[in-house]
Structure 1
Amino acid sequence: MKTLYSVLLCMLISMVSFGQQPNETKQDTTKTVTILDEVIITGNKKNDPVLTSVKNNYVEKIVQPKNVADLFNSINGFSVIKRGNYAIDPSFRAAQYEQLNIQYDGGTKAMHACPNRMDPITTHIIPEEIAKIEIIKGPYTVRYGATFGGIVNMVTQKPDYEDYGVHGKVSAGYEINGNSLVNLAQLQYIKDKYDIVANVGYRDFGNYEDGNGVEIPSSFRSTDYGIKLGYNISENQRIQAHWRQSFGRDVLHAALPMDTEYDNSSIISLDYKLDHIGTIVKSLTAKTYYSYVDHLMTNTNRPSFMMMEASSAVDATTIGGKLELSWKPLEKLNLFSGIDAMHIARDGGRTRLVKIMNGNVLPMPMIFNDKVWQDSYITDLGLFTEAKYNLSSHTILTAGIRYDNVVSDIQDPEDDFAAMYDLKKRTEHNISGTISIKKAVSDKFLLEVAYGRGVRSANMIERYINHFNVGQDPYEYIGNPDLKAEVNNQFEIGFKGREDLKNGFNRFKYDASFFYAFFENYIVGIVDPTITRKFNPMAEPTNAKVFRNLEESYKTGFEIMAEIDFLNDFYFKTEFAYVYAKNKDLSESLPLTPPFTTRLSVGFEKEKYWANVQYNIISKQDDISRNFGETETDGYQTLDVRFGVKPIENTTFGFAVINVFDEAYNNHLNFSFTNQENFGRTPITEPGRNFSAFLQYRF
């Protein structure tokens, strides 16, 4: 795959040379910057994808330090899958992991090295860097890689091109529950031809206490730094490089069998754009990136250490890129055509020093070496075209088609895994597409209707894992390299609008989406009574699970938001989110389906200060997947209070009380305590009452 990376890089360099003009004129003192395609949703109704949402104001309104995944808790329709305070994955409408196309800055990815997802992409970037999160709610665009359940784009902060010279900010936050501390320093230098942004952050989180005063093992430390360098080649060309590293240390995972000794990630990306090319060909964009994750996990601090010492060193390499041409052959027609690629390679193993076997102490401990990833890779090469046609001044038709060539191979299989399958390099051909209509009925009402066919080939865990605990339950899981690709046929209708009011009420705003999706070849782990567990054979359950395709499954649901603004600065908002999922093959719900969620919030926003109170009502979830090891979850209610103020110029202070009533609860998507002393296999509980403060100074 070094060849793929080299080709992408050479193509990028060639385009830079191609775009240079022979007699460039010197720029004016007023800076003109060609904006890179780091964002998906620009606020332009004619170009933005259908059925999108944006969550922003993190920089201005943040009042408590968080993990990046925690930012999703405030987005309607999202939940989080939690294994501790560090390994947290976002879930949207019961779609998770590779079912969501999660990226940052318009395409950069960093895939996890740990098979238990101790290190998802959300751990390789800090929340203080996030300017906004963009969401496309389904497979309604083909331009940003293969997409099954939706796209999540985390946009990092970029320079203020209007403000030359040296600027920056420093911030610090503290949480009482866990005695946790976060720090960030950022510096930027802007000139007419180039700009530099550098930042460094440090986070130290301790074990938190739940609402019953029980200490949950969840501490971690992480250090991050990044450098972003941009250069304006000409008035219509820009190139930008972004380098960042993250170092996680001593991470405790309450709901996983091991802890992280270290997790080191390195990510580099290079972006280029040539804009305003001509009357038909409008722009050319290119991106290439490389990420490497080096991960070590052990059971040194776990009860199982007395019987067996385990250490697992694994790594993951992700290489990718994209070339896209924007052109306009007709006045009413905009086309986006391109090619993208992503290569994921993983390797590593686990060393076990067994001291006790079948209940007997061994006179001489035995050493075993287990292959974790079995030196596997997946390469996805995609071709796409998306068209936007203006049916009228108020109606836009979007249609797109995408082809993905997916090649996968396992190069160092275990003997027992090789005996199960006829292993060889495999090539899949996936076709996905979308069609949608966006109509501005008036300047205050927008209607959107869409159909998307999203296709996702099996990930590396589903293909190649071999007798490892990777689920919510205690089963060993076995991959299946012959899995068919999942297909999501999703239909959705959405509308949003606003109405101006009188008599002290300023405005009423509303937003709603209703969706239905039926799946082909949905992938789940199913118990195979002919296969017994490989490790610790005396333990229950005795059989293993093998990943299989389901014949029939579907999900449906909605998100609704309504907000009324009154007395100029005050607002009241309510949000609802519901998902119903059905696995017809097993006559139960699909796994990891969140319960009905309601949020009620009231607050005010002024230039110098703001505050809000949010009441969260989470319903009981008794529609569960017992085959996945799920148990019913009681409903719960929590109250959060946040306050922010700018006491002096350039200074922001925030204060929050989360879970004011010290509620003891667990989210339905939380994994269960695993290999923990004094904890049974029950879902991990969330933090109890937590006071936090945040201070930021800009200069």
Structure 2
Amino acid sequence: MKTFYSVLLCALITVMSFGQEKNETKKDTTKQKITKLDEVIVTGNSKNDPVLTVVANKYDEKIVQPKNVADLFNNINGFSVIKRGNYAIDPSFRAAQYEQLNIQYDGGTKAMHACPNRMDPITTHIIPEEISKIEIIKGPYTVRYGATFGGIVNLVTQKPDYEDYGLHGKVSAGYESNGNSLVNLAQLQYIKEKYDIVANAGYRDFGNYEDGDGIEIPSSFRSTDYGVKIGYNFSDDQRLQAHWRQSFGRDVLHAALPMDTEYDNSSILSLDYKLDHIGNVVKYLTAKAYYSYVDHLMTNDNRPSFMMMEASSAVDATTIGGKLELNWIPAEKLNVFSGLDAMHIARDGGRTRLVKIMNGNPLQMPMTFNDKVWQDSYITDIGVFTEAKYSISPKSIFTAGIRYDNVTSDIQDPEADFAEMYDLEKRTEHNVSGTVSIKNRVSDNFTLEVAYGRGIRSANMIERFINHFTVGQDPYEYIGNPNLKAEVNNQFEIGFKGRIPLKNGFDSFSYETSFYYSFFENYIVGVIDPSISRKFNPTLDPTSVKVFQNIDESYKTGFEAMAQVDFLKDYYFKTEFAYVYAKNKDLNESIPLTPPFTTKLSLGFQKEKFWGNIQYNLVSKQDEISRSFGETETAGYQTLDVRFGVKPIENITLGVAVINAFDEAYNNHLNFSFTNQADFGRTPITEPGRNISAFLQYKF
């Protein structure tokens, strides 16, 4: 890894020096063109964009309610969220989640969680209001952004307005009635010809919410965030940018996890560089380097188990990565992207237990035990890739890409019982993935896309090295397996979208749909092993454990569809559908965390000064479940959301919303169950009841 980053630094210095010599020309007094960094994946260029993409944007323009992470994904077709409370929220897309999704910031920056129960996923380390848009590649249809199994999610942060020099900014405040929750954000930007600075700070204070039956759900948290982004333009064609952000979570209650978060501190630093317009064949070079550190402490101080055992767990995670990419055009119709990237994840930390009662008997002298959580482990992935786009015709693009990943993993401080189970030594895997696709713009109003991708994901650190910890939706202790084979996703997809002009008061009819099929190799699941007994609280049920294993036969298939009618210039009616069916043939059951069939119906309007919509959400019963994962059937439900925004005067935006207007009592199928809570059995956590919110933003 040190060699890779030395090469990255040398290359960065070399191209910066080259660019300065090349571009030492006299500048005029007009505003210069800004070289755009590769922070986004979807650029609006049909010749460069990946196939089968979705862009959810206008978060910063059409704000009508305070945002938490779930709000960013709930309204994107095909997405669900996995909730353990109101803070630890993971997105799920087409029944792919966690490391099966390649989630990143600004085209490649990553921050991996420290907690084995995912109290602190990547989505908790950024201010939701800072997100300007989310880009999704629906499958392993590009090799340029790291190893990808089920798709890419790129969270794009807001950028400076390069067209408006000087000092500008915005302040905003929001309130939610359900939980008496407050959010605040302040942002300043200063833009000059040679440099620009953007700084923001936010504070969030969420209380316990009530579900539709008026039951209070322990889910409060506080978080403070700030960030600074500094860019410097060496020339019209050369830019360097640094981005530093920190997030501090405090007193986080997790309704569906055995412990709560005392603090969760994260720091993320990223450097981005681009040299553009290099020559006739070599077009541009980009470089990225990033570092993140997460420091996490969890305890059971306010849980029923505290009377029998005091537990605290201090864990940390370090993520270091980088990327070099060269864009070159060897022939008129051939556009090639080649490069290398790397990511190193290291985790350590332990749990201290003060046992007061053992086997049902109080101890006169409580006993202290120290458990190794991550066992000082790491995973390093170094990849090389090439992706080529060939213009078959002015309207047809053929894309082919291939990628090789060298994945090294090791455990440096194993527990004795874990070392007895396996022959532990440093392991190296060689993964080859690839993709081919065709995008054909048949006419100005119809586009057809067909793709195949082979995505490969090596086992994550939980699946490799966890040792007798409860990390699933069920109460089983899980044991990792350092010998797991990498998961393979062979995904086929066809999608089309179009627009039909209409008459008689109707402006147009637009539609979009995708159908996909995936068959998996070496899919990783936790399988019950009755030969191994529970390590902690051995008399509790279940007394056996689960060990992560590869299964041979599994697949999933499904579709998303959207249709929208625009009428009377400013009005629209839209309907969206999402369905996925996933099967574990080895165990003859569904793959875990498969969402039910979902329908959304929206009626709204978009005017210059005000906008609004009513959305009716219909979620079907889910009886295709994974009983081995601890899932239970989930009833269907319907909710209604109303949103309205207005600009009463220039630079001020006011939004109001009523979420779950009917005060429906329900739980999402992907929600984890209440765990170690005094007043709740082990049932899935319920969602918030009626929630009235207001949001005010002022730009200057």
TM-score, L = length of structure 1 = 0.99
Residue in 1 that maps onto 2:95: 94
Residue in 2 that maps onto 1:351: 352
Residue in 1 that maps onto 2:231: 230
Residue in 2 that maps onto 1:635: 636
Offset of residue 4 of structure 1: 4.1
Is the contact between residue 5 and residue 319 of structure 1 (CA under 8 Å) also seen in structure 2?
no
Residue in 1 that maps onto 2:305: 304
2:191 partner amino acid: I
Residue in 2 that maps onto 1:525: 526
Residue in 2 that maps onto 1:78: 79
Gaps (5+ residues) in structure 1? none
Offset of residue 280 of structure 1: 0.4
Residue in 2 that maps onto 1:9: 9
Partner Cα distance (1:380, 1:623) in 2: 35
Is the contact between residue 23 and residue 235 of structure 2 (CA under 8 Å) also seen in structure 1?
no
Offset of residue 447 of structure 1: 0.1
Offset of residue 12 of structure 1: 2.1
1:527 partner amino acid: I
Partner Cα distance (1:217, 1:10) in 2: 51
Describe the SS at the equivalent of 2:11: helix
Partner Cα distance (1:27, 1:616) in 2: 56
Partner Cα distance (1:3, 1:312) in 2: 34
Offset of residue 538 of structure 1: 1.1
Partner Cα distance (1:22, 1:635) in 2: 63
Residue in 1 that maps onto 2:677: 676
Deviation sequence 1:367-397 (CA, Å, 0-9, x none): 0000000000000000000000001111110
Deviation sequence 1:11-42 (CA, Å, 0-9, x none): 32232223222561233322211000000000
Partner Cα distance (1:462, 1:561) in 2: 36
Describe the SS at the equivalent of 1:11: helix
Describe the SS at the equivalent of 1:21: helix
Offset of residue 78 of structure 1: 0.2
Deviation sequence 1:483-516 (CA, Å, 0-9, x none): 0000000000000000111000001110000000
Residue in 1 that maps onto 2:430: 429
2:504 partner amino acid: N
Residue in 1 that maps onto 2:614: 613
Structure 2 residue 543 is the aligned partner of structure 1 residue 561: no
Residue in 1 that maps onto 2:591: 590
Residue in 2 that maps onto 1:497: 498
Deviation sequence 1:619-658 (CA, Å, 0-9, x none): 0000000000000000000000000000010000000000
Partner Cα distance (2:5, 2:247) in 1: 23
Offset of residue 3 of structure 1: 5.1
Partner Cα distance (1:31, 1:246) in 2: 34
Partner Cα distance (2:181, 2:69) in 1: 15
2:101 partner amino acid: L
Structure 2 residue 425 is the aligned partner of structure 1 residue 385: no
Offset of residue 201 of structure 1: 0.2
Partner Cα distance (1:150, 1:14) in 2: 34
Partner Cα distance (1:222, 1:495) in 2: 42
Offset of residue 127 of structure 1: 1.0
Deviation sequence 1:92-151 (CA, Å, 0-9, x none): 000000000000100000000000000000000011100000000000000000000000
Is the contact between residue 68 and residue 125 of structure 1 (CA under 8 Å) also seen in structure 2?
no
Structure 2 residue 587 is the aligned partner of structure 1 residue 570: no
1:12 partner amino acid: L
Is the contact between residue 31 and residue 161 of structure 1 (CA under 8 Å) also seen in structure 2?
no
Cα RMSD after superposing both structures: 0.8
Residue in 1 that maps onto 2:201: 200
Partner Cα distance (2:672, 2:418) in 1: 27
Describe the SS at the equivalent of 2:107: coil
1:86 partner amino acid: Y
Partner Cα distance (1:30, 1:360) in 2: 77
Residue in 2 that maps onto 1:402: 403
Superposition pairs of residues 23-422 of structure 1, within 5 angstroms: 24-28=24-28, 29-422=30-423
Partner Cα distance (1:332, 1:652) in 2: 46
**Equivalent residues, number:** 699
Partner Cα distance (2:350, 2:151) in 1: 32
Structure 2 residue 469 is the aligned partner of structure 1 residue 474: no
2:129 partner amino acid: E
Deviation sequence 1:553-605 (CA, Å, 0-9, x none): 00000000000000110000000000000000000000000000000000001
Offset of residue 2 of structure 1: 4.9
Describe the SS at the equivalent of 1:344: strand
Partner Cα distance (2:35, 2:637) in 1: 49
Partner Cα distance (1:92, 1:171) in 2: 30
Describe the SS at the equivalent of 1:59: coil
Partner Cα distance (1:535, 1:643) in 2: 52
Residue in 2 that maps onto 1:511: 512
Describe the SS at the equivalent of 2:182: strand
Deviation sequence 1:155-211 (CA, Å, 0-9, x none): 000000000000000000000000000000000000000000000000000000000
2:476 partner amino acid: Y
1:672 partner amino acid: S
Offset of residue 229 of structure 1: 0.2
Partner Cα distance (1:369, 1:569) in 2: 63
Is the contact between residue 70 and residue 80 of structure 1 (CA under 8 Å) also seen in structure 2?
no
Greater shift in the superposed pair: 78-87 or 19-28: 19-28
Residue in 1 that maps onto 2:486: 485
Is the contact between residue 210 and residue 689 of structure 2 (CA under 8 Å) also seen in structure 1?
yes
Is the contact between residue 259 and residue 299 of structure 1 (CA under 8 Å) also seen in structure 2?
yes
Partner Cα distance (1:525, 1:412) in 2: 23
Describe the SS at the equivalent of 1:132: strand
Partner Cα distance (2:580, 2:205) in 1: 35
Question: CA distance change for structure 1 residues 299 and 2 in 2, over 3 Å: closer, same or farther?
Answer: farther
Partner Cα distance (1:619, 1:572) in 2: 22
Describe the SS at the equivalent of 2:588: coil
Partner Cα distance (2:683, 2:8) in 1: 48
Partner Cα distance (1:551, 1:79) in 2: 26
TM superposition outliers: structure 1 runs of 4+ over 6 Å: none
Deviation sequence 1:386-441 (CA, Å, 0-9, x none): 00000111111000000000000000000000000000000000000000000010
Partner Cα distance (1:17, 1:453) in 2: 39
Partner Cα distance (2:259, 2:18) in 1: 52
Describe the SS at the equivalent of 1:319: strand
Is the contact between residue 576 and residue 599 of structure 1 (CA under 8 Å) also seen in structure 2?
yes
Partner Cα distance (2:695, 2:370) in 1: 46
1:71 partner amino acid: L
Residue in 1 that maps onto 2:21: 21
1:375 partner amino acid: D
1:222 partner amino acid: S
Describe the SS at the equivalent of 1:41: coil
Partner Cα distance (2:83, 2:16) in 1: 43
Greater shift in the superposed pair: 7-16 or 294-303: 7-16
Question: CA distance change for structure 1 residues 309 and 10 in 2, over 3 Å: closer, same or farther?
Answer: farther
